[in-house]
Amino acid sequence: MNKNNYALIMAGGVGSRFWPVSRTSYPKQFLDVLGTGKSLIQNTFERFKKILPVENIYILTNENYFHLVKEQLPELTDNQIIGEPIMRNTAPCIAYGCYKIQKTNPKAQVVVAPSDHLILDTENFISVINQTLSAAEQNDCLITLGIKPSRPDTGYGYIQYENEILSKNIHKVKTFTEKPSLEIAQTFLASGDFLWNSGIFIWSVNAIINAFDLYLPEMSEIFREGKNAYNTDTEKEFIQSAFQRCTNISIDYGIMEKAENVYVMPADFGWSDLGTWSSVYELAEKDYVGNAVINPEKVIMYNSSNCMVNVPKEKLVILNGLHDFIVVESNNTLMICPRDQEQHVKQVVADVKHKFGNQYI
């Protein structure tokens, strides 16, 4: 393993689209949403252990989740759990992590990856990450992984790439497009040169910090001020002040869509961002009429098909005459809704919060 290779695993989100199973106090990255016996963050950590030294794996999370990370990933030291005092989107937390790693090792290459994605083909994933880390070590570049699309999905951002290559199968990025309409997504799929944006990035710490200097100079200056604080007892105090001064902006919008040295590697390793209950349904094991039941021990279904069911193991649940529905229960909350209307879950969460406060959120 290359001791100059590091990982920043992003685990700060609240996973509101998986409500009521995912709560602010215990969000989806800490849950076993597919019934595998391990949480999403544990599976992500296990993948990176096969690529990097354990001591080079850092978790970017909300400081409120520090003890959840510690509980689920006991191999990590406290210094490897990077707590954000407030949510400010992905650019500030990535800047923080990369400045912290740069102080430890100015020769570092870093993979930035979400904690809550599914990767089915681990061997291929490892090969892709190693290839891109090697390219990042040898070139001044910012690399993202693009997933070969299997359908015209409107839930993903798209990356268009050019024929120009950095090295084997790593292409210059031409355009980024946020979630398109179905018609545009169909055009993208037909063209053959568009990929889904996976949200996985690879670069050297020097390349990304240079990009912050160019495209987000005020943010870069904020974190540069902490050079003497990183990995010391004064780091937490500095970060409390730093995040208050940062704008709320994503790394995609702040840097990747603007930089000239952005490349993408097309990849196919059984990826899903597990962003919705429907994405879990697509991946879960189903019975002969299409029902996916995560904890099936005490669930009995009559005349029901194509349902996504996730209920407590100890709860006896009888479903009769239900087709194409999501049925989820957790934390004294039951939600039943048509699968094709799950995009309204965020609004439901907002309405519940307005009516009942944070008790059920």
For residues 185-217, b (16+ Cβ closer than 10 Å) or e, as one string?
A: beebeeeeebbbbbbbbbbbbbbbbbbbeebbe
pLDDT at 75 over 90: yes
pLDDT at 1 over 90: no
| Single pTM value for the model | 0.92
pLDDT at 202 over 90: yes
pLDDT at 307 over 90: yes
224-255 pLDDT, tens digit per residue, is 999 999 999 999 999 999 999 999 999 999 99
pLDDT at 274 over 90: no
> What is the mean pLDDT of the segment spanning 313-327?
96
pLDDT at 275 over 90: no
For the chain, the structural domain boundaries read 5-272, 277-356
Q: What is the DSSP string of 206-250?
A: HHHHHHHHHHSHHHHHHHHTTTTTTTSTTHHHHHHHHHHHS----
Point out which residues pair with 265 in neighbouring strands.
145
117-126, 136-145, 338-347: which range is least confident on average? 338-347
Selection from 94, 135, 96 nearest residue 112 by Cα: 94
Selection from 142, 166, 202, 170 nearest residue 4 by Cα: 202
Q: Report DSSP state, residue 200.
A: E
279-290 pLDDT, tens digit per residue, is 899 888 999 999
Residue range 5-272 forms a domain whose CATH class is: alpha beta
Selection from 167, 147, 156, 178 nearest residue 256 by Cα: 178
- Helices marked H in 1-121 — which ranges? 40-49, 66-72, 90-104
CA–CA separation, 24 and 132 (whole Å): 34
> What is the mean pLDDT of the segment spanning 135-157?
91
pLDDT at 109: 98
pLDDT at 345 over 90: no
Q: Report DSSP state, residue 154.
A: T
Residue 166: pLDDT band (50, 70, 90) is confident
DSSP reduced 3-state for 204: strand
pLDDT at 160 over 90: yes
> What is the mean pLDDT of the segment spanning 117-131?
95
> What is the mean pLDDT of the segment spanning 63-90?
95
- The CB density around residue 341, as the number of other CB atoms within 10 Å, is 12
Residue 273: pLDDT band (50, 70, 90) is confident
Mention every residue, 6+ apart, whose C-beta is less than 8 A from residue 240: 85
> What is the mean pLDDT of the segment spanning 132-141?
96
Q: What is the DSSP string of 156-177?
A: S-EEEEEEEEEETTEEEEEEEE
pLDDT at 86: 94
> What is the mean pLDDT of the segment spanning 108-125?
96
Instruction: Please provide the average confidence, as pLDDT, over all residues in the chain.
Output: 93
> What is the mean pLDDT of the segment spanning 198-218?
97
pLDDT at 168: 82
